[in-house]
Amino acid sequence: MLSYEVNFDGLIGPTHNYGGLSNGNIASKRNALTVSHPKQAALQGLKKMYFLRSLGLKQGVLLPQQRPHLPSLRALGFSGSDKSIIEQASNTAPELLACCYSASCMWTANSATVSPSADSADGKVHFTAANLSNMFHRSIEHGSTAQLLRAIFADPAHFSHHNPLPSGSHFSDEGAANHNRLSQEYGKPGVQLFVYGRYAFRPNTRMASKFPSRQTYEASLAISRLHQLDANAVVFAQQNPNIIDAGAFHNDVVSVSNLNTLFMHEEAFVESTTMQAQLKATFGSQELHIIEVPTAQVSLENAVTSYLFNSQLVKRPDQDGMTLVLPEESRENERVFAYLQSLLSQDTPIKDIQFVDVRQSMQNGGGPACLRLRVALNESELQALNSRFLIDDERLRTLSNWVEKHYRDELHPNDLADPSLANESFTALDELTQIFDLGSFYEFQK
């Protein structure tokens, strides 16, 4: 049976702003409280989807969540009308208002971990929405994420959904941003590589000291159990604490995989040689390509600022080699661009490089790979999902028109205090549920 990788990109929401909310994410801190451009951000995201489709790939979309998330503000003691809640929060706790306004669910690589049916004992595709418990503004995403994934992948004959892991620091889970899968074909059994930053219950011999290690080993292990993975086909590896302290807050800032190829920075993992040997042994006699980028060619700083590894490594149906879809920032960084030229002259599966402009997202630390959730599906699973969430050119046009109609060109930090922004956002989202025929999906619609 044919099988595919479908990338589900986050549609960037109308309240995209720079809150400076993520400790350890250098771009988020650097751009804190600067003016954002929500319309441009969403159009950049849609253009990326359009571009990937033009490469012959299957493209899906995940919807923005309700922001401001008034249920969270109510849970924190603000009461009264929507307008009054926003006014109280902006006067007494602007940091909470900013968290509840963040459009961070756009980074769908963090929305869930997904295991394809070929790897799971029950032959189903497994989903666990990430609890994102490390950062408050992200910890409010998982309820709506789980609800949306259940609505898209509804057929229980093919899809199995798990509740997010228990909240709290022990099972802190950041989803697919710390998860890679290697296989010869999307629909054939593969090896899943789970990357964690720290142990929650065992003593840590090495751990990042400056910035938080968001993913725990125990969270990754729990997901591998929930997804019914073969213990002989999973590898757990620790992300190098130095690289977390250099600003790589997720593993997808320093590595990316597709099919039988892993593209990684030399310093991405603790005990990298052992990890690679384990990966090769687990992969068996099949061919596995590990492309390791030396620090001498791309420093940690350049890896983090250019987001070289936060690219999408994809296999176009019409070509033998793979294409690396990178952020424009990688082209602009001289050292990184020189490395990319040398990569193309080497004998590796990567034969082509392409660049996309997702600068609005990049300024919050989210590159092309952060904006997408990979879901490997076979033909019958593809037929079973809610096809409204698969993008074709007509849907892209509809969504671009919707963005043009509802989004602001600019958002200043003070605009969050203005209740009319909430109304505009809800009006836009209400229309979106009609486009996707979702019924009453958002909290404000109930």
Where is 92: in which H helix or E strand?
A: helix 82-92
* Rounded-to-integer distance, Cα 439 and Cα 444, Å: 12
**Active-site annotation holder among 250, 265, 329, 406:** 250
Q: Among 57, 253, 268, 411, which residue interacts with ligand SUG (rule: CB under 6 A)?
A: 253
Report the C-alpha gap between 18 and 64 in whole angstroms: 16
Q: Give me 332's structure tokens.
A: 């602009």
Asked if 353 and 344 touch (Cβ cutoff 8 Å), the reply is yes
DSSP code for 104: G
Of 174, 218, 267, 381, which one is the catalytic site residue? 174
Is 174 tagged catalytic? Answer: yes
- Of 99, 100, 105, 370, the catalytic one is 370
Residues 323-382 that bind ligand SUG (CB under 6 A): 364-366, 370
What number of H helices and E strands is found in the chain? 17, 15
250 is catalytic: yes
The reply on whether position 196 binds ligand SUG by CB under 6 A is no
Binding-site string for ligand SUG from residue 110 to residue 129, where x marks contact by CB under 6 A and - marks none? x-------------------
- Give the contact letters, 138-157, x = binds to ligand SUG (CB under 6 A), - = no: x-------------------
If you ran DSSP here, which 8-state letter would residue 366 be given?
A: -
Which residues, including other chains, have CB under 8 Å from residue 65's CB and lie 6 or more apart? 13, 105, 141, 144, 145, 442
Find all residues with CB under 8 Å of 271, minimum gap 6, and list them.
238
Which of 303, 384 has the CB closer to ligand SUG? Answer: 303
Q: How far is the CB of 243 from ligand SUG (least distance, A)?
A: 13
Binding residue (CB under 6 A) for ligand SUG from 250, 372, 374, 395:
250
Asked if 370 is an active-site residue, the reply is: yes
Closer residue to ligand SUG, CB minimum distance, 24 or 190: 24
Q: Which two tokens stand for residue 146?
A: 């789980």
Write the interaction track for ligand SUG spanning residues 14-33; mark x where CB under 6 A is met and - where it is not.
----xxxxx--x--x-----
Rounded distance, CA 302 to CA 30, Å? Answer: 16
Q: Which is nearer to ligand SUG, 118 or 325 (CB)?
A: 325
Closest CA to 226 of 278, 177, 173: 173
- Contacts of 316-321 with CB under 8 Å at 24 or more apart are 316/55, 316/56, 316/57, 317/56, 317/57, 318/56, 319/351, 319/352, 320/351, 321/349, 321/350, 321/351, 321/352
Considering only 102, 257, 282, 333, the residue that binds ligand SUG (CB under 6 A) is 102
When asked if residue 429 is in the footprint of ligand SUG (CB under 6 A), the reply is no
Shortest Cβ 27–ligand SUG spacing (Å): 8
Among 102-110, 217-225, 322-330, 400-408, the segment contacting ligand SUG (CB under 6 A) = 102-110
Instruction: State in angstroms the smallest separation of the CB of 158 from ligand SUG.
Output: 26
Nearer to ligand SUG, 25 or 312 (CB): 25
- Those residues with Cβ within 8 angstroms of residue 281's Cβ, 6 or more apart along the chain or in another chain: none
Please give the distance of CA 126 from its chain centroid, rounded to a whole number.
17
Q: Do strands 58-62 and 3-10 pair parallel, antiparallel, or not at all (unpaired)?
A: parallel
Question: In whole angstroms, how close is the CB of 102 to ligand SUG at the nearest point?
Answer: 5
Any contact of residue 177 with ligand SUG (CB under 6 A)?
Answer: yes
Which span (77-85, 99-107, 116-124, 139-147) binds ligand SUG, by CB under 6 A?
A: 99-107
> Binding to ligand SUG by residue 73, rule CB under 6 A?
no
d(Cα 424, Cα 418) in Å, to the nearest integer?
A: 11
Rounded to a whole number of angstroms, the minimum distance from the CB of residue 343 to ligand SUG is 22
Q: Report how many residues bind ligand SUG under the rule CB under 6 A.
A: 22
Positions annotated as catalytic residues are 174, 250, 370
Residues at the interface with ligand SUG (CB under 6 A): 18-22, 25, 28, 102, 104, 107, 109-110, 138, 177, 249-250, 252-253, 364-366, 370
